[in-house]
Structure 1
Amino acid sequence: MQEARPFWTLARREALAGGLFVAPQLAGVLVFVLAPLALVFWYSLHEWNVLANTFEFTGAQNYQDLLQDATLPPVLAASAVFAAGLVVFNLSLALLLAVLLNQKLVGITAFRTLFFSPVVVSLVAWTIVWGFLLQANGGINGVLKLAGIEGPNWLRMPATAMASVIVVQVFKNVGLNMILLLAALQGVPRELYEAARIDGASAWRQFRRITLPMISPTILLTSVITVVGALQVFAQIAVLTQGGPGHSTTVLVYYLYQQTFQFHRFGYGSTLAIVLFAIVALLTLAQWQLRKRFVFHEQS
């Protein structure tokens, strides 16, 4: 008679151990991601008035209001301008700084620390200081006045308000992308550059044919992080411009805050949150799909 197999075989013990290891992460995703997302969708189907203590099911009414909201197009346009400006200037400056700080020079560590230090500064404190600098009688216009230039009120003019907010955010977080790109640059094999120099390749050709392809995975990572962060910006807008002048700097997250906590339209605010989630998910998915074309290690 064949002997019965024990229940706790090696394969089952390994499966149990693996499940226990991933259980905390899965619980975190369930509690802090999936459950809140489901609740937000549920709230978007209701009209919730906290002041009147009413919670009424309205079905797709909030989504119909979304399509008829005349303020939403300029809000989405402002969000797109901010995200595009932040991604272009942040990544370009971060890559430039990473290349410059990748040199073996005396005191280079101090410069790396200097450019990274704004990342660890409190966001609100950083924004408040820049708010004073960008006022009509602030420090930036004071410096321009010494050169005989009359500076504008940077945060109160539609032509300069958005650019000012973008610059503030670029200087705040460029150090993080710089460090990531610097680490990627230091991981590029030196032998590739030596072989390219022997073949007579110029510095620009080495950068374009060796450096960019080798650090392309990190460029993808930084672009995803920067895009998601750009679409979630709030504190800078709230402190510097409060969405003005007009709706020129009213990005989607700030508009969501206004509708939810200023106008007490919690159902409509939840609908805007669903829109924000969809935009972030689609852009992240699009960037992930583009990796097959632009990321060196993913190309077939």
Structure 2
Amino acid sequence: MTAAADSPPRKRPFWTIERRDAAAGYVFIAPQLIGIVTFVLIPLGLVFWYSLHEWNVLANTFNFVGSANYQMLLNDKALPQVLLSSAIFSAGLVVLNMSLALLLAVLLDQKLKGIVVFRTLFFSPVVVSLVAWTIVWSFLLQNNGGINGMLQMIGVEGPNWLRHPSTAMLSVVVVQVFKNVGLNMILFLAALQGVPKELYEAARVDGAGRFKQFRRITLPLISPTILLTSIITIVGSLQVFAQIAVLTQGGPGMSTTVLVYYLYQQAFQFHFFGYGSTLSILLFVIVAVLTFAQWQLRKRIVFYEN
């Protein structure tokens, strides 16, 4: 027999190219994965665990109650009003924010002298402290505040914006719109600048007007950004807290008591931490369902996807 036949087969090295590539991939995703596990999955599991208990911090008791908190959720007479207020706030914020952001983006997409200054002015509220912004508006919207003072100059008697049921929710929505409209405006502006100009030139040659160009060219090509901003805006609207806490404290009555503020009241004011955790689970389910529904709608509103 030859020497080659007598020699044992060579062992494949453990640290192959495939394993090195896989290890590098795991290293790159490790920070994000650790963050998701630490700050999302574990807290979510703990919230569900707390929702099955009644935790009284003052009495230092932690008792298992099973589904009692979920039964309380179904029987809560205040919850329909809370969900209605949340829906009104979210609908008003999404419609006004996205409409105004798109309008501003179209106007600021023009090549005019000094347009950069206006872009900066409209975006500047985004970087302002949320609490500081809300406190300033709370003074402006008082009965004797700046808004009513300007209305009196033209002979109009303004209402007590934050203490009247018909204007309190509108006031909170407007304050939030002015705070964050600049972010969506920048996203829309970036999308508009990515639309090929040749398409507009071809449409003008064919006799299409500005509105038809906007409907047939602009909207379809910026539809991925519309989807992104709608998801961000809806999820953000369902998590609003500071504006309600500073401006209205959920009043008058419960007209501006949204779900997150109601959750805060139950857990940290009334010390019903188990029921507060149950409301957190409800909020998570609502956000997850709405996000999933929007993501499924992408096949209809994002036109260039296959």
Normalising by structure 1, report the TM-score.
Answer: 0.99
1:179 maps to a residue whose letter is I
Give ranges in structure 2 of 5+ residues lacking alignment: 1-7
Cα-to-partner distance string for 1:89-137 (whole Å, 9 max, x where unaligned): 0000000000000000010000000000000111011101110111111
Given the alignment of the two structures, is residue 97 of structure 1 paired with residue 104 of structure 2, yes or no? yes
Q: Which amino acid aligns with 1:27?
A: I
Task: Please give the per-residue CA displacement for 1:148-168, whole angstroms capped at 9, x wherever unaligned.
Answer: 111100000110000000000
Determine the C-alpha separation between the residues in 1 that align with 2:34 and 2:304.
Answer: 33
Unpaired segments ≥5 residues, structure 1: none
User: For 2:182, which of 157, 170, 175 is the aligned residue?
Assistant: 175
Q: Partners in 2 of 1:5 and 1:26 — Cα distance?
A: 31
Counterparts of 1:233-252 in structure 2, within 5 Å, are 233-252=240-259
Deviates further, 83-92 or 9-18: 9-18
Indicate whether 1:284 and 2:291 are aligned: yes
Amino acid at match of 2:108: L
The answer to whether the aligner puts 1:72 opposite 2:79 as a matched pair is yes
2: CA distance, partners of 1:226 / 1:243: 21
Separation of aligned partners in 1, 2:182 and 2:14: 54
How far apart are the structure 1 equivalents of 2:32 and 2:103?
37
Of residues 210, 222, 225, the one that matches 1:203 is 210
Query: Structure 1 vs Structure 2: percent identity of aligned residues?
Result: 77
Q: Which residue of 2 aligns with 1:114?
A: 121
Say yes or no: does 1:142 pair with 2:149: yes
Deviation (angstroms), 1:195: 0.8
Aligned-residue offset at 1:146: 1.0
Q: What is the CA–CA distance in structure 2 between the aligned matches of 1:122 and 1:248, rounded to whole Å?
A: 26
C-alpha displacement of 1:2: 3.4
Residue 297 of structure 1, CA deviation: 2.1
Partner deviation per Cα, 1:202-225 (whole Å, 9 max, x = no partner): 110100000000000001111111
Deviations 1:11-51 (A, max 9, x none): 11111111111111111100000000000000000000000
Instruction: Specify the code of the residue in structure 2 equivalent to 1:115.
Output: F
Query: How many angstroms apart in 2 are the aligned matches of 1:297 and 1:230?
Result: 28
Q: Aligned equivalents of 1:160 and 1:255: distance in 2?
A: 20
**Could you list the per-position Cα deviations for residues 73-93 of structure 1 after superposition, in whole angstroms to 9, with x for gaps in the alignment?**
000000000000000000000
Aligned residue among 52, 55, 58 for 2:62: 55
Amino acid at match of 2:31: P
1:88 aligns with 2:95: yes
1:6 is aligned to 13
Alpha-carbon separation, structure 2, partners of 1:23 and 1:119: 31
Question: What is the TM-score of this pair, normalised by structure 2?
Answer: 0.97
For residue 71 of structure 1, what is the amino acid of its counterpart?
A
Report the structure number with the largest CA radius of gyration.
Answer: 2
Alpha-carbon separation, structure 2, partners of 1:118 and 1:23: 35
Quote how far apart the aligned CAs of 1:3 are.
Answer: 2.2
* 2:39 counterpart (32, 37, 41): 32
Residues 121-160 of structure 1 mapped to structure 2, 5 A cutoff: 121-160=128-167
CA RMSD of aligned residues (A): 0.7
How far off its partner does 1:260 sit?
A: 0.3
| Distance in 1, Cα, partners of 2:41 & 2:143 | 46
Once the two structures are superposed, residues 221-256 of structure 1 have per-residue CA deviations (whole angstroms, 9 ceiling, x without a partner) of: 111110010000000000000000000000000000
Determine the C-alpha separation between the residues in 1 that align with 2:206 and 2:18: 54
The number of equivalent residue pairs is 299
